[in-house]
Structure 1
Amino acid sequence: MTIAPIDPLLDADVAPVTHCVRLKFADTIKEIQVPEGVSVLDAAAAAGTRMVHQCGIGTCGTCVGRVSTGAVSMPEGRVYPLRRDEIAAGMRLLCQAHAHGDAEVELDYPAAMLDDNPVVLTAVKLTGLNWLADTVAELKVAVPKSVSFSFRAGQYVRLRVPGTDEWRSYSMASGERSKRRLAFTIRVLPQGAMSEYLRERAAVGDEIAMEGPLGSFGLSGQSGPILLLAGGTGLAPMLSILESLQTVRDRAPIRLVFGCARGRDLFHLDELEGRRSFMPNLSVRVTVDEPLERTDLLCGNPVDTLTADDITPGTSAYLCGPPAMLDAAHARLQELGLPRERIHSEQFLPS
């Protein structure tokens, strides 16, 4: 009887196939090895490279990056918070993305942001609750002095609704210099855990659990004119960004287009007018979907009012609002000739 020779590889541990993925942050490039079957986000964490993320299951849209070279895909048959044109342009949620070869992924934020603004979990104290409109409340909280907290204008935090296990995400409306006094503009719905709390139980002195800062939305560092487009409470991060722009020496033109569905939903118009008084490079356009007698407001949504005059050479656009508005804004801006890489957006997703 002849005995076949033993293949030594059968008894040995076979090393997994890995691919080199270059993570191109706004300020540096880091290379990681991504094994087959392991997400880019998990491989980065194993290598000690931090990236912006939140849910880890592909629903929040926080860990997005753009594949510039190579093959990186997400599982098919799932619904992701990315538009079809974004996926076609190489956008991937890195918690779900797998590399099938060496690749490069561009990230729209500096790596240093995660070192400068680490995520903390703490309890904050409610210091103010103001009703700005029929459906908009301003929530103000104070961060304990013992907690080191900072953020980049445009980022958000998660707040736990007192008395529940429900968490909600809100962008800071206050500027990044206000590290201990934070403000949020919150849309109040007919039903909802946070909405019911604000209407029925909220009181100054309440403690609220907070996690953050989160997200990568914010100024990209690109020079040139700036277009800010906000729908409803999407105005919040724009207010934070405007405060940062107050101290920028570059006096490039800034245009804010802000709109709501109904006139009674508009808010912070006096504040916007006040900002124009000490920011001569700022122009403000306010829109409503319904016709109004006021001549200083335009009828329609913010996207309807965009024209070629809003897109000058070197313009960068920052968008925040409902998904439908962002889809329309992306399409309109590209139609007007604005390159995709100069359009930055943060969308509001259902709770």
Structure 2
Amino acid sequence: MSYTIALNFEDGVSRFITCKDGETVLDAAYRQKINLPMDCSDGVCGTCKGHCEQGAFNMGDDYLEEALSEEEEAEGKVLTCQMVPSSDCVIQVPVASTLCKTQVGELTGQVARVEQLSEDSIELAVDLDNDAELTFLPGQYINIQVPGSEETRSYSFSSRPGDKCASFLIRNVPDGLMSGYLTGSAKPCDRLTMTGPLGSFYLREVKRPLLMLAGGTGLAPFLSMLKLLEEKGCDQPVHMIYGVSRDDHLVKLDELEGFAETLPEFSYTTVVADETSEHPRKGYVTHHMGREMLHAGDVDVYLCGPPPMVDAVLKHFREQGITPASFHYEKFAPSLTPASEVVA
């Protein structure tokens, strides 16, 4: 038996390793040529300390309290030289990936499909090469090199981890480099090079109700999250508010309806900002965020959208005195790397 361990470095790079049954995370990482910080490897110095965000493991008792105190252990801190996983785990490593002699992974594939879903949304599907292993945490993004240039653009996965065909929702930006390629010259079998996965915006272990706030193509990471919840099951309430500028910008509603059927605890609300819209709910996501969705603060909030939307939600929370149990958000803008934040 083996387990998949996600190592999230402080520079946003994620690397995934396989840990054998009974093997420590440190040994597994070194076996796969990732040099996690260490001095003693005996639980004495504390150099290999990290934070386990989710997963089950055994730490044993062969380490000194000077290396890992009871208070730190209660907070989820671990010593990777002593940590023996008994499930898949996600570990925050408090150093840059370059200091561990590793770097962001590279994937290659070919265009499988390009579909314009609306005036401002394009779906790109990429068939990965046979030897490519697409492992990521739902919500993370990858950098795609624009064919014919040295430039890259960052896009969140809308597909599920492990799929051989990766998919993305891409905003159609007038005169945008990637948009111009996709709408003008892209054709099936075009070769693509991608680097990643990256980002700290991803679905954590579901322990309480979830509120998902999506703006435009910020819907993409939530589709990935919902596909994982559909696969693994979820017994917590999950509600999404999906906001767009115009009626015809609403996309993937058939998929959301499908999730509502397969995930009994999932529901969603759509909102259109255009005042001339005939949509039953007009305005912004903050206008339709009922207090019942916040479960008196016992809720994990995930937010992905353009900067003005993210800023408006943050302001709304402050003004209303709303403090969720955890708050994870990601801003995106054309030609910029997504900026992720976590507010616990």
* TM-score normalised per structure 2: 0.66
Measure the CA separation in 2 of the matches of 1:222 and 1:122. Answer: 29
Q: Deviations over 1:172-196 (max 9, x none)?
A: 0011142x21000000111111011
Report % sequence identity. 34
1:163 corresponds in structure 2 to 148
Measure the CA separation in 2 of the matches of 1:251 and 1:336. Answer: 28
Q: Which runs of 5+ in 2 are unaligned?
A: 1-9, 11-33, 39-74, 78-88, 336-344
Compute the displacement of 1:334 (Å). Answer: 4.3
> 2:149 corresponds to which letter in structure 1?
T
1:228 aligns with 2:208: no
Q: Out of 231, 237, 248, which is 1:264 matched to?
A: 248
1:176 corresponds in structure 2 to 161
| Cα separation, partners in 2 of 1:322 and 1:208, compared to 1, 3 Å | same
1:110 corresponds in structure 2 to 90
> 1:111 corresponds to which letter in structure 2?
I
Q: Deviations over 1:18-75 (max 9, x none)?
A: xxxxx9xxxxxxxxxxxxxxxxxxxxxx98459xxxxxxxxxxxxxxxxxxxxxxxxx
1:238 aligns with 2:218: no
1:188 aligns with 2:168: no
| Cα separation, partners in 2 of 1:146 and 1:112, compared to 1, 3 Å | farther
1:78 corresponds in structure 2 to none
1:204 aligns with 2:188: yes
Conserved? CA contact 1:307–1:336, under 8 Å: no
Measure the CA separation in 2 of the matches of 1:122 and 1:189. Answer: 25
Conserved? CA contact 2:260–2:267, under 8 Å: yes
Q: Out of 116, 120, 123, which is 1:135 matched to?
A: 120
Q: Which runs of 5+ in 1 are unaligned?
A: 1-22, 24-45, 51-104
Q: Out of 266, 276, 280, which is 2:260 matched to?
A: 276
Measure the CA separation in 2 of the matches of 1:323 and 1:49. Answer: 36
Measure the CA separation in 1 of the matches of 2:191 and 2:35. Answer: 37
> 1:156 corresponds to which letter in structure 2?
Y
Compute the displacement of 1:110 (Å). Answer: 3.1
> 1:307 corresponds to which letter in structure 2?
G
Larger radius of gyration: 1
Task: Report how many residues are paired.
Answer: 248
1:151 aligns with 2:136: yes
Q: Secondary structure at the match of 1:245?
A: helix
RMSD: 2.9
1:1-351 paired onto structure 2 within 5 Å: 48-49=36-37, 110-111=90-91, 119-178=104-163, 180-221=164-205, 223-290=207-274, 291-295=276-280, 298-313=281-296, 314-339=298-323, 342-351=326-335
Q: Secondary structure at the match of 2:202?
A: coil
Conserved? CA contact 2:126–2:165, under 8 Å: yes
Compute the displacement of 1:336 (Å). Answer: 4.3
Measure the CA separation in 2 of the matches of 1:335 and 1:318. Answer: 19
Q: Secondary structure at the match of 1:327?
A: helix
| Cα separation, partners in 2 of 1:341 and 1:252, compared to 1, 3 Å | closer
Q: Secondary structure at the match of 1:110?
A: strand
Conserved? CA contact 1:156–1:214, under 8 Å: yes
Deviates further, 258-267 or 246-255? 246-255
| Cα separation, partners in 2 of 1:210 and 1:47, compared to 1, 3 Å | closer
Q: Secondary structure at the match of 1:164?
A: coil
Measure the CA separation in 2 of the matches of 1:303 and 1:198. Answer: 33
Compute the displacement of 1:250 (Å). Answer: 3.9
Measure the CA separation in 2 of the matches of 1:270 and 1:310. Answer: 23
| Cα separation, partners in 2 of 1:148 and 1:176, compared to 1, 3 Å | closer
Measure the CA separation in 2 of the matches of 1:284 and 1:182. Answer: 24
Measure the CA separation in 2 of the matches of 1:317 and 1:344. Answer: 6
Q: Secondary structure at the match of 2:224?
A: helix
Measure the CA separation in 1 of the matches of 2:203 and 2:268. Answer: 18
